[in-house]
Structure 1
């Protein structure tokens, strides 16, 4: 597998699909308002949290076991059978408790939640199979198609006057396309299910599920608790700020997705030095986007939320700054976390996940109740810092983590220079329309790239990314 080429393909697909999703969320937020968007985000939060025990880490286990190359057909068949058995009680539970679920969501959406759960778990399995086949680059197509169909179908429904259900119909349509495309791309034929492979999958998944819980808690726990203590409108404001920050994770998450099966394969061959070299090479490119994004948001947070999504969303300007700072940490964490799982130590990733998950829940309950949306953002950041430190510590027990401080320092210096430029522009120019805002952001990117090329350490990062992209 060509790591550079796969990373670029995955990044390009995710960049395009995230741009489409971002434009879709912008349209939906403007058309429906913060209350309806809050209902949709609570729907997604419940879908994500229910999916954790319904999957029980089986999807991650499939990627791990398929990448090891032993009896892939039996592994896949066993995984499908296990997922069916796991899904049944949760589908039944949603149906039985649909009145309570509808009250929490603020709309009659429980039965759509059942459909979404089944489609999501089926579609995600096909992507995990492709990754386990070391064909990560080929996941780009179905991932892109899912977002394109989701936004396109949702936009049609909303444009024709539908409420939040229109977005959910788009979400379901996207999952159907992703499932069909991923299944068609996979080359693993079904074999006979086996108790042996069921135990093998559970041996890995029982730890991977804890990491998944940590990830979903990190993504959705603050939203779920905001939904309990505050209003659907508050959920909408907070999640819009969160969605803006996720754009900067595109490249680092693409790198992490690509290196997992490769680290797994090298670990099976005891190629520790190759893993250490790969980690060092991956960290600075992962930060190349996140660092300047944080500096830019510090200057332009109110303008971004107000002009892109609407005036009611400017209430989340400080939330946006806090969460964007956290994305700098997450850009490194995602590399370390996937590597720790790749060397077959999901137990340690699970331990870190449990500690940070408990901390996240406790801090959110206290801080959301006391400080509202700002408390939720601070709780998320503090718990994730602890999670990242623990992942780095556990991974360092097996491989040496060489942090490229000079290259990171170069990116910080270039970002600081860009921030000064943006501050001067923001102080002298009235940013009153979206085209002016986009122009200023574009100029900021050019200034950052210029300083990144001037400063030697960051120039190395820039040229490495360029060479890999064209290579």
Structure 2
């Protein structure tokens, strides 16, 4: 059976990245269609419901993080690990059914959706369960398989959602479409997992709980932290403000792709190497070097023409998302680094550290977020999140440096990416002064020039990037091109 250390992290990330962009293209088209069709209020209401679902499913995914960790360590209890994941899923869904029944009126009032309780349970049983088993599959290191499966799900989701929205289901059609596509693609995950569940022993359950008792609250704190912005906007402002936020979030989402994919593969890799008493510093350093390679140009591009970008893509109703776009792009750069650091800490078998950091950051974000949202509106909650993310970065990087000798946090490749981004910004801003964005053609031209400039400059100045791309294309490892210590990306 293929293990996490048997595959190239860079190669798997590259293959998964293609799938991720394929998936994102579908999702991006979908948000444009549905945002224009439903308007900010109904569009925001759906994402408020989705945010609540993501909070409610954290125990499922926290237990899945424990399953991923134990699955990556040994082959002996894998059937029991998968069986325990199924058992926990059933128990949690039964519990949340009663919670949804008790608070059904609050769900309807908060989201503005009449069928919110039913949609909540439907998403929890399908989307959240899919995400949990997706994590277990990634414990084998097959992040490209998992991501391509998710891409297939995305391409099934779009037509189903479109048909249901056109049929008159409104925002509820988005939930029904996602649930239907998830049911159709879930068997693919189980096929590649290649493990039949068995009844877990008490020893296996205890082993999982020793990790899950930290990973579950960590997942809760981290997700509440990541979804806090949109939830607070729905609470203090309106569903329309939440819709504006989601538009800005979708436009900056590609910034996270490499960091998310690489970190997913890094966690079981670090876990496996650590269990074998092998060094992991270079694995972490190299992943940090390239985690923000997409976030940097997206920030400088958003800074160059935010209003034109938002209006051209989503329409004039969403013009208020323009300032949110720029501030969110700043947050994405920081979060791509913290994603890698947090997954590395999990791989080192210290989930309690992430739990404490997440709790502190969430508390800080809640207090500052409420204050700044009341004072500055929607942009205030994102500013608060940036400060909280900086707190996470300082805390996680300090722990990693104390625990692992030789980890490089700010590397030359990262500085080269920032330099290439600055050159791109100057170039695009200058051209934008002569070419106002009045159509998709103008926007496409500016985006092409910006991406081309960034890519050309970065390839020109970065030996490390050229080596990395070469190694991935040849299907080999980077140690063929550089002296020790080994760079395996």
Structure-2 residue corresponding to 1:187: 194
Aligned pair in 2 of structure 1 residues 468, 214: CA closer, same or farther (>3 Å)?
Answer: farther
Once residues 348 and 437 of structure 2 are traced to their aligned partners in structure 1, the CA distance between those partners, rounded to angstroms, is 49
Q: 1:61 aligns with which of 63, 66, 89?
A: 66
Q: CA deviation at 1:467?
A: 3.4
Q: CA deviation at 1:162?
A: 3.5
Once residues 152 and 361 of structure 1 are traced to their aligned partners in structure 2, the CA distance between those partners, rounded to angstroms, is 37
Once residues 191 and 61 of structure 2 are traced to their aligned partners in structure 1, the CA distance between those partners, rounded to angstroms, is 25
Structure-2 residue corresponding to 1:246: 253
Q: CA deviation at 1:155?
A: 1.5
Structure-2 residue corresponding to 1:353: 358
Q: CA deviation at 1:270?
A: 1.1
Q: 2:143 aligns with which of 128, 136, 150?
A: 136
Q: Indicate conservation of the 8 Å contact 1:4/1:469, yes or no.
A: no
Given the alignment of the two structures, is residue 4 of structure 1 paired with residue 4 of structure 2, yes or no?
Answer: no
SS in 1 for 2:291: helix
Once residues 456 and 129 of structure 2 are traced to their aligned partners in structure 1, the CA distance between those partners, rounded to angstroms, is 45
Structure-2 residue corresponding to 1:427: 433
Q: CA deviation at 1:137?
A: 2.9
Given the alignment of the two structures, is residue 303 of structure 1 paired with residue 302 of structure 2, yes or no?
Answer: no
Once residues 444 and 33 of structure 2 are traced to their aligned partners in structure 1, the CA distance between those partners, rounded to angstroms, is 17
Structure-2 residue corresponding to 1:22: 28
Q: CA deviation at 1:41?
A: 0.8
Aligned pair in 2 of structure 1 residues 467, 435: CA closer, same or farther (>3 Å)?
Answer: farther
Structure-2 residue corresponding to 1:388: 393
Q: 2:82 aligns with which of 65, 69, 76?
A: 76
Deviation readout 1:33-69 (Å, 9 max, x if unpaired): 111111111111111111124x261110111111111
In the TM superposition, 1:233-312 aligns within 5 A as 233-272=240-279, 275-312=280-317
Structure-2 residue corresponding to 1:121: 128
Aligned pair in 2 of structure 1 residues 56, 10: CA closer, same or farther (>3 Å)?
Answer: closer
Q: Indicate conservation of the 8 Å contact 2:289/2:414, yes or no.
A: yes
Structure-1 residue corresponding to 2:424: 418
Structure-2 residue corresponding to 1:221: 228
Given the alignment of the two structures, is residue 464 of structure 1 paired with residue 468 of structure 2, yes or no?
Answer: yes
Q: Indicate conservation of the 8 Å contact 2:73/2:275, yes or no.
A: yes
Q: Indicate conservation of the 8 Å contact 2:252/2:329, yes or no.
A: yes
Q: Indicate conservation of the 8 Å contact 2:149/2:189, yes or no.
A: yes
Once residues 394 and 301 of structure 1 are traced to their aligned partners in structure 2, the CA distance between those partners, rounded to angstroms, is 36
Once residues 455 and 446 of structure 2 are traced to their aligned partners in structure 1, the CA distance between those partners, rounded to angstroms, is 14
Deviation readout 1:405-449 (Å, 9 max, x if unpaired): 322222111111111111111111121011210111011111112
Deviation readout 1:306-340 (Å, 9 max, x if unpaired): 10011121212111111101111111111111111
Aligned pair in 2 of structure 1 residues 255, 56: CA closer, same or farther (>3 Å)?
Answer: closer
Aligned pair in 2 of structure 1 residues 454, 185: CA closer, same or farther (>3 Å)?
Answer: closer
Q: Indicate conservation of the 8 Å contact 1:142/1:177, yes or no.
A: no
Deviation readout 1:144-166 (Å, 9 max, x if unpaired): 12211222211222234431111
Once residues 146 and 277 of structure 2 are traced to their aligned partners in structure 1, the CA distance between those partners, rounded to angstroms, is 27
Q: 2:323 aligns with which of 318, 325, 331?
A: 318
Deviation readout 1:77-115 (Å, 9 max, x if unpaired): 122212322232211110222112111110112112111
Which consecutive residues of structure 1, in runs of 5 or more, have no partner in the other structure? none
Q: Indicate conservation of the 8 Å contact 1:284/1:461, yes or no.
A: no
Larger CA deviation: 102-111 vs 135-144: 135-144
Structure-1 residue corresponding to 2:211: 204
Q: Indicate conservation of the 8 Å contact 2:255/2:292, yes or no.
A: no
SS in 2 for 1:188: coil
Which TM-score applies when normalising by structure 1?
A: 0.95
Q: CA deviation at 1:404?
A: 4.8
Structure-1 residue corresponding to 2:480: none
Q: 2:404 aligns with which of 385, 399, 406?
A: 399
SS in 1 for 2:196: coil
Q: 1:444 aligns with which of 447, 450, 467?
A: 450
Aligned pair in 2 of structure 1 residues 121, 195: CA closer, same or farther (>3 Å)?
Answer: farther
Once residues 76 and 405 of structure 1 are traced to their aligned partners in structure 2, the CA distance between those partners, rounded to angstroms, is 39
Larger CA deviation: 152-161 vs 17-26: 152-161
Q: 1:365 aligns with which of 367, 370, 374?
A: 370
Which TM-score applies when normalising by structure 2?
A: 0.92
Larger CA deviation: 116-125 vs 339-348: 116-125
SS in 1 for 2:298: helix
Q: CA deviation at 1:453?
A: 2.6
Given the alignment of the two structures, is residue 376 of structure 1 paired with residue 378 of structure 2, yes or no?
Answer: no
